[in-house]
Structure 1
Amino acid sequence: MRAAPLHSLPQRADFLRAASHGRKAARPGFVVQILQTTPGAPLRLGLTASRKVGNAVIRNRARRRLRALAREELRARALSGADIVLIARKGTAETDFATLRADLRAVLDAAFPAPTAPAGAP
């Protein structure tokens, strides 16, 4: 049984909104832009790779790796109310997948901290 697909950012304006109003984090393998939207809204994902990344084969490989990474990490967290844009960098297609995963986890942990229990709670 397949998991439900991630919602995507359908228009260029959505990407530009995330770029201009969202928080950014750069890692060696990718750049992440996160824009908080209305609570309860579905999490939407956008992927992009410019020609600086490489030829069409390399760009497609980089996007496929980022999509697989996002499926793995974002579904495990069950996040909502945000637009997330992953931008491939020159080394995305060759970077070790475990390194990409650790970088994305660190960015998501900073952007979406786990709720903490109030002081004195069991």
Structure 2
Amino acid sequence: MADQPQKLRKRPEFLRVASRGRKVATPGLVLQVLRTEHEAPARVGFTVTKKVGNAVVRNRTRRRLRAALQHVARKTDLAAVDLVLIGRDSTRGRPFDRLIADLEHALRKGEAL
């Protein structure tokens, strides 16, 4: 992997990925991918809506997504791409190996790899 992924922090960055990027839905998560023109490290944002649960549940879901991305990023080169991982209600209870498989599938289908 080239560099550690950086964070998307501001709402306009998330909205740009949502409006211009590709969206891939899997049973464990939704991934939005937007290729960038420069060879900068990947930038990543995580979103979990209140429909998923209270703050404790949403944070746990976000931590699982972050851990899955770290696992995948160790094996692959994520560069020149902005990613938004959206947690679903099923993200929390999905076995971790299947969550990783969902993320890898979404990255391939979204042409981030």
Q: TM-score, normalised by structure 1?
A: 0.84
Q: Which residue of 1 aligns with 2:12?
A: 13
- 3-state SS in 1 of match to 2:46: strand
For 1:16, the aligned partner's letter is L
Q: What one-letter code is carried by the residue in structure 1 that aligns with 2:80?
A: G
Q: In 1, distance between residues paired with 2:47 and 2:112?
A: 22
Other-structure match for 1:70:
69
Identity of aligned residues (%): 46
Structure 1 counterpart of 2:57: 58
Show structure 2 runs of 5+ residues with no match: none
Deviant stretches of 4+, over 3 Å: none
The TM-score with structure 2 as length reference comes to 0.90
Return the structure number with greater relative CO, CA threshold 8 A, min gap 6.
Answer: 2
1:24 aligns with 2:28: no
The one-letter code sitting in structure 1 at the alignment partner of 2:76 is R
Aligned position for 1:117:
none
Following TM superposition, by how much is the alpha carbon of 1:5 offset from its aligned partner in structure 2, in angstroms? Answer: 4.7
Name the Cα RMSD after superposition: 1.4
Alignment of structure 1 residues 41-120 onto 2, 5 Å: 41-110=40-109, 111-112=111-112
Q: CA deviation at 1:63?
A: 0.1
